[in-house]
Amino acid sequence: MTDAGEEMYELVERLYPLCRSITGDGVRATLDIVGEYIPLQTYEVPTGTQVLDWTVPQEWNIRDAYIADSGGRRVVDFAESSLHVLGYSVPVSATMPLSELRAHLHTLPEHPGWVPYRTSYYKPEWGFCLAQETLDALPDGEYEVHIDSTLADGHLTYAEYVVPGEVPDEVIVSCHVCHPSLANDNLAGIAVATFLARELAQETPYYTYRFIYAPGTIGAITWLARNAERVDRVKHGLVLACAGDSGSLTYKRSRRGDAEIDRVMGHVLAASERPHQVNEFTPYGYDERQYCSPGFNLGVGSLSRTTYGGYPEYHTSADNLDFVSPKAMADTLAVCREAFGVLDRNRRYLNLSPYGEPQLGRRGLYDALGGRSDTKQAQMAMLWVLSLSDGEHSLLDVTERSGLPFDTVATAADALHGAGLIKA
């Protein structure tokens, strides 16, 4: 995990300078880089396409932007940070006094050294984001304002990567690819999703895992619209965001509140003894609110460290490469691996010898445990699995009722299955 953490951080470093938005070449460049790690299938959806209650917007691209003083010095420069331009700014080339320019400037007075992240996706507007201390230092006078951007018919871009499983039932893992230079929100989530996909691809999981890289809100809505006829295959899901800061892990339950992914994540976090919290669903946040909308009602939760809006650096230039760490991303990845390991093995079984306790010794099941440090636990796990294998209780039910580790219970079930005493 240490090596994976360093590699994930390197991926975040590569993605950080790119100017992303809900459409455009920044999204494509991001997916091109992710595609070096896992083979992505990319989709382009034309402007004007109806997707549920929304319409795919025009595509936005930007090449340069700046504010220059009367001497030609760039006092605000897009080349220094993609956060400096209001997202989806229409093109502008003009000279105006500071008094007029102020209406188009966005700052954070409470954090005078930070640059805010602001957008205007669905209203034609232009603007710049800058530090309050930079604005305070600007003298009155004339300023050249230049934004070299285009807003025209094009496409919305998203991508998928599918890890085939033993069954066609799916687990979706979703992350948003629409934010510019914000390391925790959203690049850490992209990195964790990518390395999770890469690790799962080295094995054959039980479920089929579908990784979705899409712009926030409109991207998830587009994916749902284009997959409405097959979305019933999705049995579980997880949205990854804010996955690399130093805060403790936070899981947000699905709208259902009792979906299997909710139980699994709650169990794994508690059993790991990591500091964590589990929050109830709210219809605000990341794309879990799209997947959980009433018409779809998918069992999709959200995993983050510090939650959206829960840290001062959120949606500011302070959410930079220093704000995330390899250690934190590795820890997030480890929890995902543990959770999906439980999810993949959490079967319901039927006891094929339900009248009295079957004789385990003559089947060699006790002998097979010889030499184990947890022999007594393993024996108890077998008895618990036999007792609760009535077709209604899952292995997670057995784990919670017995107080035994899930891995011990699942291993016992494998042994009993191999001996023909239970069936899935």
For the chain, which domains are there? 2-57+155-341 (3.40.630.10), 62-152 (3.50.30.90), 348-423 (1.10.10.10)
Query: What average pLDDT score do residues 215-222 get?
Result: 98
pLDDT of residue 376: 84
Sign (positive or negative) of CA dihedral 9, 14, 20, 22: negative
And the tokens for 364?
């060699």
* DSSP notation for 85-121: B-BTPPPEEEEEEHHHHGGGEE--TTSTTPPB--B-T
pLDDT of residue 2: 72
**Which DSSP state fits 136?**
H
Query: What average pLDDT score do residues 302-313 get?
Result: 96
User: What are the distances in angstroms from CA 194 to CA 40, 79, 127, 158, 211?
Assistant: 10, 28, 33, 14, 8
Residue 375's pLDDT band (cuts 50, 70, 90): confident
Distance (Å, whole) CA 193 – CA 187:
10
Distance (Å, whole) CA 310 – CA 329:
18
Q: What is the residue-averaged pLDDT of the chain?
A: 96
pLDDT digits (tens, 9 = 90+) for 153-211: 999 999 999 999 999 999 999 999 999 999 999 999 999 999 999 999 999 999 999 99
Parallel, antiparallel, or unpaired for β 234-240 and 170-176? parallel
Determine contact, residues 158/212, Cβ cutoff 8 Å.
yes
Residue 371's pLDDT band (cuts 50, 70, 90): low
Nearest CA among 63, 60, 44, 46 for reference residue 121: 60
Nearest CA among 248, 243, 256 for reference residue 319: 243
pLDDT of residue 372: 59
Of 359 and 336, more confident: 336
Residue 405 has pLDDT above 60, yes or no: yes
Determine contact, residues 329/206, Cβ cutoff 8 Å.
no
In sequence order, which residues have a C-beta less than 8 Å from that of residue 349 and are 6 or more positions away?
385, 389, 391, 395, 413, 416, 417, 422, 423, 424
Residue 373 has pLDDT above 90, yes or no: no
| Alpha-helical regions (H) of 295-390 | 326-345, 375-388
Residue 370 has pLDDT above 70, yes or no: no
pLDDT of residue 369: 56
Rounding to the nearest 10 degrees, give the CA dihedral for residues 264, 267, 268, 274.
Answer: 140
In sequence order, which residues have a C-beta less than 8 Å from that of residue 227 and are 6 or more positions away?
none
Rounding to the nearest 10 degrees, give the CA dihedral for residues 266, 272, 277, 283.
Answer: -40
H/E stretch holding 44: strand 41-46
Which residues does residue 97 pair with via DSSP β-bridges, in sequence order? 142
Determine contact, residues 112/146, Cβ cutoff 8 Å.
no
* DSSP notation for 392-420: EEEHHHHHHHH---HHHHHHHHHHHHHTT
In sequence order, which residues have a C-beta less than 8 Å from that of residue 142 and are 6 or more positions away?
70, 95, 96, 97
Nearest CA among 237, 246, 256 for reference residue 304: 246
Determine contact, residues 64/146, Cβ cutoff 8 Å.
yes
